[in-house]
Amino acid sequence: MDPNLKTITRIFTVLCVCVAGGLVSGCLYTFHATPAQHEPQPNLVEYRHDVEFAAERFSLSREQGQELEAFVARVGVGYGDRVYLATATPQGAKGESAVRLAQRRAESVSSFLGLNDVKIDALIDDYGDGSPLGDSVTVLVHRYLVALPACPDWTDRPGKKFMNQPANNWSCATAVNFGMMVADPGDLVRGREAGPGDGQMLADSVYRYRKGETKPLADDVSTAETFPGGSSSSTGSGSSSSSSSGSGN
């Protein structure tokens, strides 16, 4: 074979491979097996106020009470907030006397906050780097705020989901609405513990169910209007009303 023709053939082959590779890469599409997740995110915010006591004193002065009231009003302590008290080791006191003095100071602050309808959730002896210093008690208010997801989300190409996945904007409205109406954002972090149940009432319910003595569901006008023909008692009362009206005439 002619050397020149052989060289031309090699060059042509390389060019064909490059063109084919370019065409194939142009047709590629990045698949995302998992769609974007849209969820409201709870963020913890902390407010704090230090109540300074005089040496060996545990009662609140008038000025301290006013400052504490102003703090509560400014923060707006309300539903869903967790309030803690952090104590420090009093200066100049040691042993049991120091522990007792710190407790009495915490009791004074707790009692004063109780008069302002603020309930203390827990007493903290060691708050790490945030622990109060000297003769002080720190009031900590923890509050969760909701960060709404970035919605609407049209970052993908609607109608072109080759992996049979929903669009990125899927559930966006639900996530935003849920984040705006949640009463206590702290519930997004951890659910509440179940309260005590009435064992006698629960046992009686099972007993009546087994004996076939369950109570009938409440029947009212709205149910009869929504499900016509589904309630015989409402229909009967309506007939009775018509007959009495007729007899009156």
The whole-angstrom separation of Cα 50 and Cα 127 is: 13
Q: Are residues 99 and 183 in the same domain?
A: no
Q: Are residues 138 and 85 in the same domain?
A: yes
Q: Which amino acid is at 76?
A: G
Number of domains in the chain: 2
pLDDT given at position 19? 63
pLDDT given at position 145? 93
Q: Are residues 130 and 49 in the same domain?
A: yes
Are residues 77 and 143 in contact, defined by beta-carbon separation less than 8 angstroms? no
Q: Look up the domain containing 126 and give its range.
A: 42-145
130 falls within a domain: yes
Q: What is the DSSP string of 43-82?
A: EEEEEEEEEE--TT--SPPHHHHHHHHHHHHHHT--TT-E
pTM of the full structure:
0.59
Q: Are residues 99 and 154 in the same domain?
A: no
pLDDT digits (tens), the chain, 249 positions: 556 666 666 666 766 666 666 555 545 445 555 666 788 999 999 999 999 888 878 888 899 999 999 999 999 999 999 999 988 777 656 667 778 888 898 999 999 999 889 999 988 876 666 667 678 889 999 999 999 988 888 887 777 767 777 778 888 889 999 999 998 999 998 888 877 888 898 899 999 999 998 888 776 655 555 555 554 444 444 443 443 344 444
Q: Are residues 116 and 162 in the same domain?
A: no
Closest CA to 192 of 202, 201, 200, 182: 182
113 falls within a domain: yes
Which residue matches tokens 């301290």? 64
Q: Are residues 71 and 157 in the same domain?
A: no
205 falls within a domain: no
Q: Are residues 47 and 134 in the same domain?
A: yes
pLDDT given at position 56? 79
CATH number at residue 47: 3.30.1330.60
186 falls within a domain: yes
95 falls within a domain: yes
Q: Are residues 46 and 140 in the same domain?
A: yes
The whole-angstrom separation of Cα 69 and Cα 86 is: 18
Q: Are residues 47 and 131 in the same domain?
A: yes
The whole-angstrom separation of Cα 103 and Cα 107 is: 6
State which of 119, 145, 171 marks the end of a domain.
Answer: 145
Alpha-helical runs (H) found in 76-171: 95-115
The dihedral formed by the CA atoms of 239, 241, 247 and 249, expressed in degrees to the nearest 10: -120
Q: Are residues 82 and 128 in the same domain?
A: yes
> Hey, is 165 helix, strand or coil?
coil
pLDDT given at position 228? 58
75 falls within a domain: yes
The whole-angstrom separation of Cα 108 and Cα 52 is: 12
